[in-house]
Amino acid sequence: MESVRRIVQLEESVINRIAAGEVVVRPANALKELIENCLDAGSRSVAIMVKAGGLKMLRIEDDGHGIRSEDLPILCERFTTSKLQKYEDLQGIGTFGFRGEALASISHVAQITVTTMTESSQVASMAQYSEGHLVGPVRPCAGTKGTTIVVENMFYNNPTRKQALKESLEHSKVLEVVQRYAIHHPSVAFSCRKASGAAELATAGSSPSAREVIGTIWGQGLAKELFPFEVKSEEPRFSCRGFASGPNYSSRSSTLILFINNRLVECAPLKRAVEAVYQPVLPRHQHPWVYLALDVDPQCIDVNVHPTKMEVQFLHEETISLRLQEALAGQLRSLGTSRNFAAAL
Ligand code: ADP
Ligand code: MG
């Protein structure tokens, strides 16, 4: 007869690896967190280099405020952050990162090397991390103000995950994250390139408007079909601005680039709501291109429903979706009539 097995606690390193694998599902998740850190640090320029879809290497160089060398020993420990001190801070947090968990999680699925320099220091410092801890000493080195983070051999300790990921798909996901942050931050210069090639994306960082950046990245063909979009409401309180394609543009795949309170997120109900507006306007199986920056009361949003923080839930989701639909539909109608009117002349 089979004996009942004893229940034992897993080793801590195994627990950490499992938890980290839920936060960092693929290289693009790690990159999103690293870009958000650059933006939190006030960077004007963010340069990204990618090897093998980010699985071999992701390198992110910024010109932000840097990290104090005294802080480097605990940088990748879990729950170490400069952005949050007590639970209540979570509610009003304006910065992107807020749990001090990103670097820790990445260090459990990859090796991390950080080079950083603050305004007030004479030299840069370099430190390496693995499994949440500093490896070896913090060393002084040459550098300029800002931070460079190199993430190598992602999922080296999880061969199943590594095999399941295809380099080319991962690369396109990585590029997509960069494109989206570049649109949302037209005044930051983003670049992204493969280690082996020229830049696939480079924005000037001086554009006053997302439309110019969209033109740089997706081409003027799309940019000129877009109309600016804005809606504000007091009850429930929210505001939304963005760019949406008009009736002349359609694509086989649907694009909704959604930032809620400056975080790149996904929200399936909102996506369906946007698509529904276009259904009577576009031919069958054709879809719009929409970029929305939605700001809601931070207290109404729960970003912690999913470990990757990608899928969010917020209060008044239905009312906000409806208001957005009305506003979008109204704009589309007015474009439609002016076009018909012009054609009739
Ligand atoms: P969080 O962003 O939630 O605080 P992270 O693990 O993403 O947690 O980062 C931990 C800390 O490391 C941050 O609070 C910040 O102080 C510092 N940090 C990380 N990346 C950068 C960067 N690119 N520039 C400056 N500081 C950084
Ligand atoms: Mg962070």
For 309-322, what is the mean pLDDT? 80
Q: What is the dihedral of CA 88, 89, 92, 94, to 10 degrees?
A: -160
* Rounded distance from Cα 51 to ligand 1 centre (Å): 23
Q: Is the pLDDT of residue 96 over 50?
A: no
Return the residue whose CA atom lies nearest to atom 13 of ligand 1. Answer: 81
Q: Is the pLDDT of residue 67 over 70?
A: yes
* Rounded distance from Cα 30 to ligand 2 centre (Å): 10
Q: Diameter of the chain by CA atoms?
A: 89
For 200-214, what is the mean pLDDT? 92
* Rounded distance from Cα 48 to ligand 2 centre (Å): 17
135-152: per-residue pLDDT in tens?
A: 999 999 999 999 999 999
Q: Is residue 62 part of a domain?
A: yes
Return the residue whose CA atom lies nearest to atom 18 of ligand 1. Answer: 37
Determine if the peptide bond prior to 307 is cis (ω within 30°).
Answer: no
The model's confidence at residue 22, banded by pLDDT at 50, 70 and 90, is: confident
Q: How far apart are CA 132 and CA 106, in angstroms?
A: 8
What is the number of the ligand closest to the CA of 81?
1
Percent of the chain residues topping a pLDDT of 70: 90
Does one domain contain both 119 and 229? no
Number of domains in the chain: 2
Does one domain contain both 54 and 195? yes
Q: Is residue 217 part of a domain?
A: no
* Rounded distance from Cα 239 to ligand 2 centre (Å): 25
Domain final residue pick, 187, 202, 217: 202
Q: How far apart are CA 75 and CA 72, in angstroms?
A: 5
Ligand 1 shell residues, CB under 6 Å: 33, 37-38, 41, 62, 64-67, 75, 80-83, 97-104, 147
For 13-24, what is the mean pLDDT? 82
- What ipTM describes this predicted complex? 0.99
**164, amino acid identity:** A
* Rounded distance from Cα 234 to ligand 2 centre (Å): 31
Q: Is the pLDDT of residue 97 over 50?
A: no
Give the position, in ligand 1's atom list, of the atom nearest the Cα of 100: 8
Task: List the domain range (segments joined by +) for residue 271.
Answer: 225-344
Does one domain contain both 174 and 310? no
Does one domain contain both 178 and 241? no
Average pLDDT of the chain to the nearest whole number: 88
Q: Is residue 1 part of a domain?
A: no
The model's confidence at residue 90, banded by pLDDT at 50, 70 and 90, is: low
Q: Is the pLDDT of residue 326 over 80?
A: yes
> What pLDDT shows up at residue 108?
94
> What pLDDT shows up at residue 306?
63
Give the position, in ligand 1's atom list, of the atom nearest the Cα of 106: 6
Q: Is the pLDDT of residue 197 over 50?
A: yes
> What pLDDT shows up at residue 99?
66
Give the position, in ligand 1's atom list, of the atom nearest the Cα of 96: 2
Return the residue whose CA atom lies nearest to atom 9 of ligand 1. Answer: 100
Return the residue whose CA atom lies nearest to atom 19 of ligand 1. Answer: 37
CATH code of the domain in which 311 resides:
3.30.230.10
Does one domain contain both 55 and 172? yes
The model's confidence at residue 298, banded by pLDDT at 50, 70 and 90, is: confident
Q: Is residue 14 within a helix (H) or strand (E), and if so which, with residue range?
A: helix 12-23
Mutate to test the pocket of ligand 1, among 29, 31, 37 (most ligand atoms within 8 A of CB): 37
DSSP state of 10: P
Q: Is residue 187 part of a domain?
A: yes
Top-ranked range on mean pLDDT: pick from 13-17, 57-61, 86-90: 57-61
Angle at 213 between CA 211 and CA 218, to 5 degrees: 90
Does one domain contain both 187 and 311? no
> What pLDDT shows up at residue 302?
67
Q: Is residue 332 part of a domain?
A: yes
Return the residue whose CA atom lies nearest to atom 11 of ligand 1. Answer: 81
121-135: per-residue pLDDT in tens?
A: 999 999 999 999 999
Top-ranked range on mean pLDDT: pick from 23-37, 97-111, 304-318: 23-37
Residue with tokens 């086989």: 252
Does one domain contain both 232 and 175? no
Q: Is the pLDDT of residue 86 over 80?
A: no
For 249-275, what is the mean pLDDT? 91
Q: Say which residues have a Cβ less than 8 Å from residue 333's Cβ, sequence separation at least 6.
A: none
Q: Is the pLDDT of residue 77 over 80?
A: yes
Residues, Cβ < 5 Å to ion ligand 2 = 37, 97, 102
> What pLDDT shows up at residue 307?
60
Q: How far apart are CA 144 and CA 258, in angstroms?
A: 34
Q: Are strands 255-260 and 289-296 parallel, antiparallel or unpaired?
A: parallel
Q: Is the pLDDT of residue 95 over 60?
A: no
Does one domain contain both 191 and 230? no
Please, are residues 214 and 70 in contact by the beta-carbon 8 Å criterion?
no
> What pLDDT shows up at residue 1?
62
Does one domain contain both 244 and 312? yes
DSSP state of 188: S
Does one domain contain both 92 and 30? yes
Does one domain contain both 85 and 170? yes
Does one domain contain both 38 and 181? yes
The model's confidence at residue 60, banded by pLDDT at 50, 70 and 90, is: very high
The model's confidence at residue 12, banded by pLDDT at 50, 70 and 90, is: confident
Q: Is residue 215 part of a domain?
A: no
Q: Is residue 7 part of a domain?
A: no
Q: How far apart are CA 296 and CA 303, in angstroms?
A: 12
CATH code of the domain in which 146 resides:
3.30.565.10
Please, are residues 288 and 278 in contact by the beta-carbon 8 Å criterion?
yes
What is the number of the ligand closest to the CA of 42?
1
Q: Is residue 164 part of a domain?
A: yes
* Count of beta carbons in the 10 Å neighbourhood of residue 83: 15
Axis crossing angle, helix 210-218 with helix 167-184, rounded to the nearest 10? 150
